[in-house]
Structure formats: structure tokens, C-alpha cells
Amino acid sequence: VRRLALAALAFALAAPAGGGLNVGTTGGLKDVVGKLDKKAAANAPAPDTQPPTVPANLSAAGASSGTISLGWTASTDNVGVTNYRVYRNSSASPVAVPTTTTYLDGGLSVTTVYSYTVSACDAAGNCSAQSASASTATLSTGGTPASVPAGLTAVAGSSVSINLSWTASSDRFGAVKNYKVYRNSSASPVAVPTTTTYLDAGLAASTTYSYAVSACDALGNCTALSASTATTTLSPTGSPAPSAPTGLSAVAASSVSISLSWTPSVDLSGTISNYEVYRVGSVVGAPIGAAFTDTGLSASTPYSYTVSACDTLGKCSALSAAAGATTLAAPPAIPGVPAGLAVTASGGSTLSLTWTATSGATSYNVYRNGGASPAASPTAAAYNDTGLAASTTYSYTVSACNISGCSAQSSAAADNTPKWAFVTGGYIQSSPAIGTDGTIYVGSADGKLYAVNSSGSVKWSYLTGSGIFSSPAIGSDGTVYVGSQDASLYALNPNGTLKWSLSLVFAIFSSPAISSDGTTLYVGSGSNLISVSTGGYQNWSFAAGGQVASAPAIAANGTVYVGSAAGSLVALSSAGVQSWAIGTSSPIVSSPAIGADGTVFVGSENGALIAVSSAGAQRWSFSTSASIRSSPAISTDGATVYIGNQNGALVAVSTMGVSRWSFSAGGAVGSSPAVGADGTVYVGADNGGFYAVNPNGTQKWAFVTGNSVESSPAIGSDGTVYVGGYDDDLYAVPGTTALGGSSPWPKYRHDLLNTGFY
Amino acid sequence: MMLGVRASAEPMIHEGAANLDLNYPGAGARYFLSGKTAVEGRMQYEKNALSAGARYYWYPPLLPAGSRFNPYLGGEADYVSFKGATTDGSGWSGGAFAGIEYPVSRSFSVQADLGGQYFSVKDKGSGLTQGGLEFVLNFGVNYYVDVKPLLAALNSPRWEP
């Protein structure tokens, strides 16, 4: 081992490679690197000791009030110039070491002279001598832009436009603010663009124009004009078409219309005259502006559009990209007319309105006293009208509205709260009569006939021997005639004193009728119809065969019609001679009404409303399905007969015997209807309700009394409705119109005087 | 040089043994693939010279049984980096060596070897290259660790079924 080691060591020490023995790999590496260093040194170039040539042609020019621009001719060097050293005012150190042959020296004082020298240096740090000096002064705060616009070109864009472009000018005080474009040596510029292009439009076709441009700075200093250039506009036939509209937008405006808009087109040839709007390949509009509304469309339907722009030369662009929209859904139908409008007083100055909510309505318009504009527009089917004058009648109508519009106004309704209630001493079955002076006369179960002022105060009362269920009748001289359960017929003076009384055999439930000449009264008593002179003497008595609770009706020819419990409707001459009789098989408590043609209408306990000609021939019989104790009234147009039955119905039957409608009052209708001039039908019922019913059979309003209402209403000239109740009260209820209008028989006993005479 | 130092224990040259060695001017780690072969990663550094590479050792039975000297032969390949007086670059080297390892204790040994190593370097600035065969003497001290049990533990299933 020793020999081996020594041999290896000796070999290593004597190795001809020249490497020698090294300790560690890094030792061998360093030996090799030393050889590399030697090779590198051997290959290295000779050191550069030659400086560059001296910079020549140094120039200095004031660039602005704070800068001077330097320039010089490049130096040469055997290796290469790496930079220059700029010296200002013989400074020891360079103020800058640019690598190019220009330098803008900044941060200088205004209008101050500075001198400069420059030397050139190479990478070895060899620098030339400094150049000859050059001096100049910074500018004052003013001057002109440095460069006149160059490279002006003019290219005809169309028959009416020329495109101009030029090279940007430099400005020593900052950016060029704008340029002035002059056409055909004009004194004033035709444009002052801020960029280096300009489209001169509105030119004449096939015409040569020359242009020149100057540049201006922020101080308003402008250069001289550039070199001019000229070109000729195109001929009209060579003009390009307008650009196609872009940005087409379609928006549904309604269920039948779509609004379109787009970005206006550019026309290099002339002026855009209009656009053509296409829907499914067909022109649907030619708007001048960049918007159009297509109407007459179908709801919920998609539509697609394109637009083309056309110019005054008749050229049109390509179609725009298509845009579409779907029309909105169709609006809802206009709601129906509100029904069931009712008005009730709610305090001295407030009226509460309610009506049946109308399907599809989003709001309602409430009109007061026929006003053209709504007094309110509530969203619910109710409204409180406040701030009203006390004791004043207000009339209302309501229309139902939604987004599509408003319905027609409902039938008018007014406050149905009684103006007053006059309390008698007994229940009232008697039906009031109204004198020419407005005095209301009504009998009571307390045996008294009351005369009540229209204000509700008692004028006088006259006590008979028993209850008064008969309805008073008023003569032309103001005499009030009324029968009593005490079997006497009374004639009272207008001041309430007794004029005469006629004692009969049987109680009087019937009501007297007064002949047209005012000389004769007809009234039922027991089973007899009695004729009495207005002087208080009985003329004759006709035995009807059954109780005569029916009140007689007198035709224009003097014929007296009356029903009886015998079930017969009889016709008598003024002399008491029966003309005819027609049986109904059931008692007739109802009192006859006479139509315009003389037809007599009367109800029967068998539920039939019958129509009988003046000659005694039954024209028709209409079954109301329940017994009838009410008496007929005829509509204002004379075509409909109204009557109540004991099943709670107020029925409307045409004068031809055909049902029109039936109103459910909720209680037996023994009361006889009264018809207002506006067609409203008033009637009471045994459930205590008093109803106002529209001509179409819908309820207008109702109010509830304290007991049954079998009295039949009378309507005053001011529209006030008077009716008695089983709660002993005589009510005065606000109405809308006076009695009847042209109705031939608008109420029980025919008229306000209760004459029973047609 | 520590040649001639008597050992007081057997060297731990067998499969699975490993050592950390300090050599001049660097350090390395060696792993015995078998009782006769080993691989080593090593790095040497001195000012402006860096060598990093690997060695392969073969311990042939050249000496009679009972000898405490363990002669070995091997090869080496390195990446080298340098900075000369005017040059700066990198390159590679490779060569063969022969040496002897002598155990000082069961855990320590000293070794020395001599070999020829070829270097090829390039100046990245000038692009000049230089090659040359150098004789290199390496010596060092080894500290042995028996990593076989550790390796066995690492190779065993980590989780019992």
C-alpha cells in the first residue's frame, strides 16, 4: 500500500498535463480557471485610450421660456461614442450626459442667455475636448408654435365632402390647442378642429376646393398657413350610400306598439333624408329621425325589425342588424258599471258610500251631484264624503276603473238616511197623501189623522173613533177624506177641523177615491163599495160579495174599478151599475191601477197579476208565485208594472205580461211601490226594510225601520219619499226626483193627493 | 492526512450503512449499496470556486483478510462554477480516483484518495473555454451511521390491518 500510494503521488506531481497536484476538486478547478484567465488575457483587445472626436456644429435655440434646445454633429471614436457631456456656462460638471446628439435643457430662467459646450466620451471613459460654445437665450412667455402643419392632404370623400389630414405640429409651450382650416383662401377658417383630420362637408359636387391649415397654441398664437392642397369632390353618381344604422333597439311600448331607436347613420354623400323601417321584409315606417313607434300590432306577439338609412340622393344603406321585441299583454277589459251604490249619513257632515265591488276594477271614481270630475278616486268599494253641508241632499254616482279605462257611471244614489221621523201613537198602515202645500197626511192605528209639515213637525191631528188604516185622499179644495175602523168616513178641513163625517155600517179599511169632478167619493166598507158625495151624503152602495179592502180606481171615463174578497174585480159606472166583473178565484185586497190605454192591473191572493181591458177582457195573468196584497204601479215609460208579493219579491212585469226582473226584499212586500221620475222604485217590506230599486231591478239603497213597512210611499215634489212604518213612525227619506214623471199610475192611489183617479 | 492511524474497531462498511463526511474543502454524505459499493453526494466550496456532484465507490478485496485498510476505486462527476481574475463562468468535471479508508473507531474513519479529473469550463463573458486534466488529492473524515434499521422501519406497513 505504501508503495502504491507513493507511486501515485509521484505520478501526480510529475504529471505532464501541467495541472500539478491539487487538493480537492475545487483546487483542480481553480487551476483550470487560472489557465482560462490567461487565455482570456491573451485574447483581450488592447486598451482603448483614444478619445472620440470633438462634437461639432453645436447649436442652441430657445425652446420656451424655461428650456433651450441643443443639437450637435455626432462625434466618432475608434471604438464607439457612448455618450456626450453637456456643460452649461462653463460648469465644471456636465449638466447632462445624453446618449444622443440633442438635448433639451430645462429649468432655466426666462429670457436668460446660456452658453453650452459638449464633449463626447467612449466606453473606456475617454472624452474629447469640449466643443466650441454656443449661446442663446430662453424665450419670453409668448411666441409662435414651432412648426407649421405639414403633409396636408385632401381626399374627396363623396360628392359633398372632402377629407383633410395633416401632420401634427409641435408647440414649444405645450400641446397644440387646435388647427384652423381655411378653404379657398378664405379669410376666416371653415373649421377649428383639435385633431389633425377634418371632414369638410356640405360641398358642391364635382367642384375643386383648396385648403391650408395653421396650428395654434393655447395662447392663441398661430403658425403661418401650411402649403395648400386641392382636390375635387366626387360626382353624385359616385357617391357612397349612407352607413347602415347601428344599435337598433326594439322595446315593447304597449300591447299594440313597439318603440324602435337606433344610432343615426352617417352619410358622406349628402344628408340623411329618412329611414326605412322594415318588419318582416315590409316597410312599416319612414321616420326622419332615428326613432319610430310601430303601432297596430297584436298583443303578446314577437316582431322583428331592421332599418335602412336613405339620403337625399336616393341612396339607401344596407339593412341594420335585426332587433325584436314582443308586444305587451293585452290590457284588461274596462270594468263593469258598479252596482248597489248606497249612501248613508255618517254624522252631520259626512255621507258614507258603499257599493258592490266590481270585478277587474283597481279604483273607482266617485262623482257628487253630477259633477264632471270625480270628487274622489278610492281603491275600495266604499268612500266617506266628508265636509258636507248639513241637511243637504247629495247625489252620487260611481264608475269603476282600471288601467284600460273607466266604466260608465252607476245609477245615482243619494243619502237614504231619513230626514226626519214623525212619531204617531200607533203603527202606520195608511199611506200618506201630500197636499198642494206640501203637508203630509197620514192615518195611524192610534185613530188619528195627522197633518205633518214637510219639516217633520205636526200641523194638526184629528182623532177618530178607532184606528185609521185607510189612506187619506185630498180634494181639490184641500178637504181631507179618510175612513176609520170606527166605520165612519171623515171629511176634514185643511186646518184639521171636521167638515163632516158619515157613519157607515162596517169598518173602513179601503181608501177613498175622488171623482174627476170632485163631487163624488168611492170607498169600500165591509163588503160594499159606497158612493158618497163630497157633501157627506151617500149616493149608492154596491154589494161586492166580499170585503172591499181594495181601494177603488177611477178611469177617465168615470168607471170605478175595485176588487173584493170575493175574488172579483168589478167595473161600475159612476151610477153604481156593474159594467163587468172578472173573477180570480182568490180574494183581491190589491187596489187596481190603470194604464195609459185603460188597461186595469190588479193583484190577487192567488199570486196572479192580471191585466184586464177596460171592456172587462183579461189580457194576461202573470203568476208571481205568492199571494199579492200590494198594489201595482207603472213605470215612467208606461211599459212595466211593478208589484210586490208576500214572498218578499218586488216583481217587474211588462205591460205585455212578460217578466222583466224580480227584486228580493227579504220580507213580504205588502207595501205598494212608488216610481220616481228617474225610474227609481220605492217600496217597503215586512222585514222593516225600505228599498230604493233601480229601473233595472238592482238595489239602489235601503234603510231599515223599526218594524214592518206596509204603508205605501209617496214622493214629494222635492224628491223626498214619505212612508209610514209599523214602528209608529212617518219617515221622510231623501230621494232624487219627484213622483212619476210620465208614468200613468206611478203609485198607490195614483197621485200625491191619493185621488185614485186616472 | 491521517494515514497510519490505528483503528480500534471494525469499520462499518456494509449494506445499509451511511456516513457523513467532512472533506477539504467541503462535505458529503455516502450510502453503501452493498458491502463493496457506495454512492456519495458531495459539495466543495472555496472562494471563487464551487464543485457539486456525485461519487461512486468500489471497495475491492485487494488486501489480505484482517487488514484494517480498505482500498477503494471510484469515479466522480461534478458541476463546477467559478470566478477568475477576468473570467466568470461554469462547466463540468469528471474523473477516476483510488484511495484508502482507515477506520479509527466503529463510527469514525479517515480516507484519502488521488485521482485524475478532467475539467471543462467556459467564460460566460468572452465565451472562451478551457479544458485540462488535473490530479486531485482528496481526504476526509467519515462518521458512520447504520441507517438500515431506519430504512426497514420506513419500508414497513405504516398501519396494522
- Residue A508 confidence (pLDDT) above 90: yes
User: Within 10 Å of residue A467's Cβ, how many Cβ atoms?
Assistant: 22
- Residue A269 confidence (pLDDT) above 90: no
Of A11, A32, A37, the CB nearest to B132: A32
Euclidean distance between CA atoms B137 and B135, whole angstroms: 7
Q: Are B147 and B154 in contact (CB under 8 A)?
A: no
Tens digits of residue pLDDT in A395-424: 889 999 998 899 999 877 777 778 899 999
Euclidean distance between CA atoms A690 and A330, whole angstroms: 44
> Which of A515-519, A732-736, A749-753 is least confident?
A732-736
Residue B39's DSSP bridge partners are B31, B56
- HEC profile of A254-296: CCCCEEEEEECCCCCCCCEEEEEEEECCEEEECCCCCEEEECC
Provide the percentage of residues in chain B whose pLDDT is more than 90: 57
Q: Are B131 and B120 in contact (CB under 8 A)?
A: yes
| Mean pLDDT (whole number) for A277-295 | 89
- Residue B7 confidence (pLDDT) above 50: no
- What pLDDT sits at residue A5? 57
Residue with cell 489557465: A35
| Mean pLDDT (whole number) for B58-84 | 89
Contacts of B89 in chain A (CB under 8 A): 36
Tens digits of residue pLDDT in A71-102: 999 999 988 999 999 999 989 999 999 999 99
Euclidean distance between CA atoms A616 and A21, whole angstroms: 164
Min Cα–Cα distance to chain B from A14, Å: 10
Of A19, A21, A36, the CB nearest to B133: A19
Q: For residue B4, give the chain A residue with the closest CA.
A: A2
B94 inside 8 A of chain A by CB: no
| Mean pLDDT (whole number) for A311-335 | 87
| Mean pLDDT (whole number) for A231-249 | 81
- What pLDDT sits at residue A529? 96
Single out the residue of A337, A411, A358 nearest to residue A699, CA to CA: A411
B41 inside 8 A of chain A by CB: no
Q: Are A585 and A603 in contact (CB under 8 A)?
A: no
Higher pLDDT, A740 or A449: A449
Determine which of B102, B110, B119 to mutate to test the interface with A (most A C-beta atoms within 10 Å): B119
Q: What are the grid coordinates assigned to A228, written together?
A: 395648400
The ipTM value here is: 0.90
Q: For residue A11, give the chain B residue with the closest CA.
A: B135
- What pLDDT sits at residue A121? 94
- What pLDDT sits at residue A392? 65
- Residue A350 confidence (pLDDT) above 90: no
- Residue A706 confidence (pLDDT) above 60: yes
Q: What is the DSSP letter of A96?
A: B
Of B25, B100, B131, the CB nearest to A26: B25
Kindly determine whether residue B132 and residue A11, on different chains, have CB atoms separated by under 8 Å.
Answer: no
What average pLDDT does chain A have? 88
- Residue B158 confidence (pLDDT) above 60: no
Q: What are the grid coordinates assigned to A480, written together?
A: 181631507
Q: For residue A28, give the chain B residue with the closest CA.
A: B134
Euclidean distance between CA atoms A180 and A212, whole angstroms: 8
Q: Which amino acid is at A724?
A: G
Euclidean distance between CA atoms A367 and A409, whole angstroms: 8
**Coil, strand or helix: which one is A25?**
helix
Of B78, B87, B137, the CB nearest to A36: B87
Min Cα–Cα distance to chain A from B129, Å: 7
Handedness of CA A262, A264, A265, A270 (dihedral sign): positive
Single out the residue of A248, A268, A267 nearest to residue A258, CA to CA: A248
Provide the percentage of residues in chain A whose pLDDT is more than 70: 93
- What pLDDT sits at residue A424? 95
Pairing of strands A150-156, A113-122: unpaired
- Residue A632 confidence (pLDDT) above 90: yes
- What pLDDT sits at residue A163? 86
What DSSP string describes A313-358? TS-BPPPPPPEEEEPPPPPPPPPPPPEEEEEEE-STT-EEEEEEPP
- What pLDDT sits at residue B132? 92
Q: Residue A9 — φ and ψ, nearest 5°?
A: -65, -40
| Mean pLDDT (whole number) for B2-25 | 64
- What pLDDT sits at residue A171? 66
- What pLDDT sits at residue B6? 32
B75 inside 8 A of chain A by CB: no
Residue A357's DSSP bridge partners are none
Min Cα–Cα distance to chain B from A125, Å: 19
Determine which of A33, A35, A38, A39 to mutate to test the interface with B (most B C-beta atoms within 10 Å): A33
- Residue A129 confidence (pLDDT) above 50: yes
Contacts of A33 in chain B (CB under 8 A): 48-49, 82, 84, 87, 121, 130
- What pLDDT sits at residue A437? 94
Q: What are the grid coordinates assigned to B15, written together?
A: 449494506
Q: What are the grid coordinates assigned to B36, written together?
A: 463493496
Q: Are A431 and A724 in contact (CB under 8 A)?
A: yes
- What pLDDT sits at residue A487? 92
Kindly determine whether residue B138 and residue A1, on different chains, have CB atoms separated by under 8 Å.
Answer: no
- What pLDDT sits at residue B3? 28
Contacts of B40 in chain A (CB under 8 A): none
Higher pLDDT, A412 or A488: A488
Q: Which amino acid is at A745?
A: W
Pairing of strands A21-23, B129-146: parallel
Burial of residue B93 (CB within 10 Å: 0-12, 13-18, 19+) is buried
Contacts of A11 in chain B (CB under 8 A): 135
B77 inside 8 A of chain A by CB: no
> Which of A255-259, A414-418, A609-613, A630-634 is least confident?
A414-418
Kindly determine whether residue A18 and residue B48, on different chains, have CB atoms separated by under 8 Å.
Answer: no
- What pLDDT sits at residue A293? 94
- What pLDDT sits at residue B159? 36
- Residue B8 confidence (pLDDT) above 70: no
Q: What are the grid coordinates assigned to A354, written together?
A: 258603499
**Coil, strand or helix: which one is A10?**
helix
B78 inside 8 A of chain A by CB: yes
- Residue A462 confidence (pLDDT) above 70: yes
| Mean pLDDT (whole number) for B4-15 | 49
Of A24, A35, A44, the CB nearest to B23: A24
- Residue A563 confidence (pLDDT) above 70: yes
Q: How confident is the model at residue A446 (pLDDT cuts 50, 70, 90)?
A: very high
Higher pLDDT, A13 or A78: A78
B63 inside 8 A of chain A by CB: yes
> Which of A267-271, A616-620, B59-63 is least confident?
A267-271
Min Cα–Cα distance to chain A from B26, Å: 9
Kindly determine whether residue B25 and residue A24, on different chains, have CB atoms separated by under 8 Å.
Answer: yes
> Which of B1-15, B30-44, B49-63 is least confident?
B1-15
> Which of A225-229, A533-537, A633-637 is least confident?
A225-229
| Mean pLDDT (whole number) for B41-54 | 96
Euclidean distance between CA atoms A382 and A357, whole angstroms: 9
Min Cα–Cα distance to chain B from A121, Å: 24
- What pLDDT sits at residue A142? 53
N-term to C-term CA, chain A: 168
- What pLDDT sits at residue A389? 75
B54 inside 8 A of chain A by CB: no
Q: Chain A interface residues facing chain B, Cβ-Cβ under 8 Å?
A: 1, 5, 8-9, 11-13, 15, 17-37, 39-41, 43-44
Q: For residue B112, give the chain A residue with the closest CA.
A: A5
Euclidean distance between CA atoms A733 and A81, whole angstroms: 122
| Mean pLDDT (whole number) for A450-471 | 95
- HEC profile of A567-633: CEEEEECCCCCEEEEEECCCCCCCCCEECCCCCEEEECCCCEEEEECCCCCEEEEEECCCCCCCCCE
Q: Are A229 and A210 in contact (CB under 8 A)?
A: yes
- What pLDDT sits at residue A722? 96
Residue A73's DSSP bridge partners are A56
Q: Residue B54 — φ and ψ, nearest 5°?
A: -135, 155
Q: For residue A35, give the chain B residue with the closest CA.
A: B130
Q: Which helix (H) or strand (E) element contains residue B120?
A: strand B108-123
Kindly determine whether residue B82 and residue A29, on different chains, have CB atoms separated by under 8 Å.
Answer: yes
N-term to C-term CA, chain B: 54
Euclidean distance between CA atoms A117 and A138, whole angstroms: 17
Kindly determine whether residue A29 and residue B69, on different chains, have CB atoms separated by under 8 Å.
Answer: no
Kindly determine whether residue A1 and residue B48, on different chains, have CB atoms separated by under 8 Å.
Answer: no
Q: Which amino acid is at A186?
A: S
Q: Are A145 and A75 in contact (CB under 8 A)?
A: no
